[in-house]
Amino acid sequence: MLPETLVGADGAVENRHGVTSVFDGPAPMIRVFDDPKTEISELETWVANLLLAGVMREEIAILVRLEV
């Protein structure tokens, strides 16, 4: 956790009040699937379950690799 005030190497003071740590929340989940159809189906189910659990859409991130 960072303190509410940070002092940079240049002496600039940065107020961190109200900042949410990027280290807050569950650990990332990495999954590999045999085919795109299964991957899409599992992704749809996962997102639907997050939404049903009350997770806001703005809090969901899906990262993909474009090239293998």
pLDDT value at position 43? 93
CB-based contact 13:6 (threshold 8 Å) = yes
* pLDDT tens column, 12-47: 887 777 766 666 667 777 888 999 899 999 999 999
- Residue 53 pLDDT > 90: yes
pLDDT value at position 38? 95
Residue 2 CA to chain centroid, in angstroms?
19
- Residue 1 pLDDT > 60: no
Which whole number is the average pLDDT over 63-67? 79
Put simply, whether the predicted model's pTM sits higher than 0.85 gets the answer no
Reported residue count of the chain is 68
